[in-house]
Chains A and B, each alone.
Chain A
Amino acid sequence: MTPRLFIEVARRSFRRSSTYRLATASALFTNTVFGFLRASVLLFLANGGDLRGMSESDLVTFAFLSQGFIAVVGIFNSGPLTLGTAIKSGDVVIDLYRPAGLQQWYLAQWVGDAGFQVLARGVLPLLAGALVYELTWPDLLILPTFALSLVLASLLGFALRFLVALSGFWVFDVRGVDAIVTLISGLFAGLVLPLNLFPPALEDVARGLPFSGMIQLPIEIFLGTRSGLETVWALVFQMGWLAALLAVGFGLLRVATRRLVVQGG
């Protein structure tokens, strides 16, 4: 796939996502409401003091910022990555008749959609939170690093969801796999609770899994709770998992297209 084609696909994916106005507005509303809910739960737990090294404003910022991550990293669904359903319906033949790699094709769409989601659903929950609570704002110098980490988080989400979609070649209906991955990634990415509030043993496990790179690590960079070296490590961690998951996806895709049976006429 040429870079030009990638950009053209991403652009149209961005535009396509922007046409779902009502869906975006209602999701944004839900994300924001849940931001307030989660913020108050965390404040209740903190009980007026710090919680495992996080101040009240850190906790509240975590709640609202992570709500903004949901659509960008694809925690709850696969967004434009419709490969799983296409495999089930047989529409995957259309994908296979395209002179472009399937993984890149869907990645380009993912990137375009994520770009739209950052603007539409990423920023507003945080601003809504800022109207009510005092938030922790990052040093401006850390913003480019945070942005890089956010991009990696979104790509990690893609790599993971691509594997879920590919399972459709073997399991016939991806919804079960999808539900399990949604549950696990919500928990271990830090969406349900920041990972540093987990029991220490479980936290260690969670920090070794790729999900932590989808929400927890970028937010820690935003909050400035990581030292310089720890920040570099977080980025390396994200890149490592990203490369590994993309490579597995690429390999499985090759296996799948060799043994493929397209459903129906």
Chain B
Amino acid sequence: MAVIELEDIEKQYVVRTRAGLFRRERQIVQAVSAVNLQVNKGEMVAYVGPNGAGKSSTIKMITGILQPDGGRIQVLGMEPMRQRVQLTRKLGVVFGTRSQLWIDLPLQDSFALLRHLYRVEETRFKRNLDELVDRLDLSTFLDRPVRQLSLGQRMRGELAAAFLHDPDLVVLDEPTVGLDVVAKYAVRSFLADINREYGTTVLLTTHDLDDVEQLCERLVIIDEGRVVLDGSLGDFKARFGFERIVVVDLEAAVEPLEIDGVDVVERNGPRQHLRFDRRERSATDVLAAVAAQHSIRDVSIAEPTIEELIHRFYLE
């Protein structure tokens, strides 16, 4: 069953720029053009793209707070803009840079209010809260005012708030921004567990590609308002990850090696980083060529990170 269905979605903004003392010029910016996207129940999809690519606009249209200029949207069988309030009952939203918690009150007060807001029945609320407190390890600061929490603690609180009413779809907008490694790990493992155990559909935007790597089987890349890639992370890597780096430690520091089809991208004393296309040469082949010129003390092969891949992808 499709939870999110976007068909040829379009969105333009009118931007007015100053062209003189009183004159202003109207400029139409195409934020989203012909975006098609289908997300099925239980999927966890990463929606990735550089700033200004149209990510937030798409999300706002999916959640019914922005009217598309063209195309068709259905989310959980509803028309988001027309049925916004009904839709919000089945939706959980987390923003890395905004908060839905009452900053001056103890964390548990925000939760209690959410029970009334989403009309969660008392026993179900208790059960959900206990589980979330346990999974996100909230018990030590439930009674502390939110403004006194660390960013990591607050984010865990935000996650609990978004899941308290058993939403069918959760949208996370950069949920790990600014968090340290430990807090990121907590957020990711929580999301992975919930998605696996309850089949909650999750749409995640992020600039942190570790989020994608560790959470999402499916990656949708948007750039300049268009979906430029929709596939698994493995596909993406297979398509664009044909570059390899071999790091060789030689017996002595020498001039950059000269081998056909290989670039030396870095050189530190006796250590040289060699880049080649694995479709053209194999690693053994490259090493043999090095060994023919110098003796090798140590070797390691590095895979490119998706960060590098997507960066290169954007540049193409």
Contact = CB atoms under 8 A, between A and B. Distances in A.
A193 B174 CA distance: 53
A15 B119 CA distance: 22
A265 B112 contact: no
Interface string B30-57: 0000000000000000000001000110
A7 to B, nearest CB: 9
A17 to B, nearest CB: 9
Interface in B155-195: 173-174
Contacts of B173: 265
Interface stretch (B2-10, B96-104, B133-141, B284-292): B96-104
Interface string B190-219: 000000000000000000000000000000
A25 interface: no
Interface string A186-220: 00000000000000000000000000000000000
Interface stretch (A49-57, A68-76, A90-98, A137-145): A90-98
Nearest to A258: B67
B65 A262 contact: yes
A262 B60 contact: yes
Contact of A15 (B88, B89, B93, B105): B105
B98 A93 contact: yes
Contacts of A232: none
B145 interface: yes
Interface of B is mostly: mixed
Nearest to A105: B117
Nearest to A91: B98
A19 interface: yes
Contact of B105 (A5, A12, A257, A259): A12
Contacts of A20: 104
B91 A260 contact: no
Interface string A135-177: 0000000000000000000000000000000000000000000
B66 interface: yes
B113 A265 contact: no
Contacts of B301: none
A8 B98 contact: no
A98 B88 contact: yes
Nearest to B162: A97
B172 to A, nearest CB: 12
A97 B171 CA distance: 11
A8 B118 CA distance: 13
A93 B65 contact: yes
Given A16-B102, A16-B104, A262 B116 contact: no
A98 B165 CA distance: 12
Contact of A4 (B55, B67, B116): B116
Interface in A79-120: 90-91, 93-94, 96-101
A83 to B, nearest CB: 14
Contacts of A19: 104-105, 145
A98 B173 CA distance: 16
B314 interface: no
A258 B55 CA distance: 20
Nearest to B56: A265
- The residue among B60, B63, B67, B98 with the most chain A CB atoms within 10 A of its own CB is B98
A261 interface: yes
B242 interface: no
Nearest to B55: A265
A2 interface: yes
A9 interface: yes
A20 B103 CA distance: 12
Given A19-B104, A99-B118, A265-B173, A94 B88 contact: no
Contacts of B145: 19
Interface string B50-90: 01000110001001011100000000000000001110110
Given A262-B66, A265-B97, 11 more contacts: A2-B119, A9-B113, A90-B98, A94-B95, A97-B91, A258-B67, A260-B65, A261-B66, A265-B51, A265-B173, A265-B174
Interface of A: 2, 4-5, 8-9, 12, 15-16, 19-20, 90-91, 93-94, 96-101, 257-262, 265
Q: Please provide the 3 A-B residue pairs with the shortest distance between their CB atoms, ordered closest to farther.
A: A99-B88, A5-B116, A8-B116
